[in-house]
Amino acid sequence: LIAATPLFKSLRIGKSLGIDLCVKRDDLFPSIGGGNKARKALKIAEEIERCGYDSIVTTGDVQSNHARATALLAAEKGWKCKLVLHGDPELLKKPSANLLLICMSGAEVEIVDPEDISSTMKRAFQELQNDGFHPCEIPGGGHCIAGGVAYVEALEEIAYQCELLRWNPNYIVLPSGTGTTQAGIICGVEKSGWDTKVIGISVARPSSVGAQVVREMCQQLSDHLDIEMDHIQVEFRDEWIGEGYGKAGQEVLRTIGWAALTEGIILDPTYTGKAFTGMLELAESGEIERGSRVLFWNTGGLLNLLSAEQYLEEILRSN
């Protein structure tokens, strides 16, 4: 367990919801900024080393956790890193949060319109080759086999922790974006033989699209790791997206304020705030039955909270 994160019992919030709640603290994953993207990046880095690449091209939003985790790892390993980001180019004049760490890591950043991402990545890749590098292109969000394997392995980590606690979950709830994390957890659950329902709360995609992407990644992972899966059950819920990626509604902002106040659990408006709100409402409605053992997977997002200036006043006011 080289990079294990803590698992802790949430007594006050669990009690107020009538569930037996534990939180997996991947927000504390040991890399600056932490989170699931750092866990994925570490596994992807193993693959980069195995294949002998010496440089990276990847993409994401200007506040992408994946881009930040990748840029920091590249700096640590001495790899050249080119990031093709989308968002407001003006932000580069006064970078904050993830973008600040990206700039400090020495990654080369280009901010382009979303429709120009693919052509810019191709050009960046070509430039690296022309300069004599052996580059690797990582899909946005770390949505690749190695990223998924990171979470199959995380299930082994948590199974060990649960054994020590003599506790295992009926439900695992987490935010789901590209769906790699959820797919890894589903395959890990299958491998461990647990009878646990994994509920991914969408941060952007409608369930018709998101569930299919998770299913496809489960298929690839189970083929890759030889995990026998008779039928792949995917629960991908899209009721808490609000107005879309990075946009949080009132109830999400209230949840963020309440979780911090009640038990010091820090959530964010883009990812974990939506997932935690989903978990609260599923428990309140009885869909997650009273007394259930529930594991909330805190995938990080602190830097997204710190960069969400438009919401901070409202979060504080909700207390």
Ligand X SMILES: Cc1ncc(COP(=O)(O)O)c(C=O)c1O
Within 159-188, the residues that bind ligand X by CB under 6 A are 175-182
Instruction: Give the burial class of 166: count Cβ atoms within 10 A of its Cβ; 0-12 exposed, 13-18 middle, 19 or more buried.
Output: exposed
Angstrom distance (rounded) from CA 274 to CA 255:
9
Among 10, 36, 59, 207, binds ligand X (CB under 6 A): 36
Measured from the CB atom, is 135 or 301 closer to ligand X?
301
Number of residues that bind ligand X (CB under 6 A): 18
Query: Is the separation of the CB atoms in 203 and 179 below 8 Å?
Result: no
Q: Which amino acid is at 257?
A: G
Min. distance of Cβ 308 from ligand X in angstroms? 12
Single residue of 5, 17, 23, 35 touching ligand X by CB under 6 A: 35
Output 55 or 202, the one with its CB closest to ligand X.
202
Of 14, 87, 246, 301, the one binding ligand X (CB under 6 A) is 301
Question: CB under 6 A: which stretch of 14-22, 33-41, 226-234, 251-259 binds ligand X?
Answer: 33-41
292 forms part of the interface with ligand X (CB under 6 A) = no
Residue type, 48: I
Least separation, in Å, of the C-beta of 51 and ligand X?
22
Q: Are 174 and 185 in contact (CB under 8 A)?
A: yes
Kindly state the smallest distance separating residue 87's Cβ from ligand X, in Å: 14
Q: Whole-angstrom Cα distance, residue 73 to residue 85? A: 17
CB of residue 15 to ligand X, shortest distance in Å: 26
CB of residue 296 to ligand X, shortest distance in Å: 12
Site string for ligand X, 112-151 (x = CB under 6 A): -----------------------------x----------
| Binding flags for ligand X, 44-83, as an x/- string (CB under 6 A) | ---------------------xx-----------------
Cα gap 237→240, rounded to integer Å: 8
From 300, 305, 307, 311, residue interacting with ligand X (rule: CB under 6 A): 300
Stretch touching ligand X by CB under 6 A, among 29-37, 91-99, 104-112, 220-228:
29-37
- Nearest approach, Cβ of 78 to ligand X (angstroms)? 25
Residues forming the site for ligand X (CB under 6 A): 35-37, 65-66, 141, 175-182, 271, 299-301
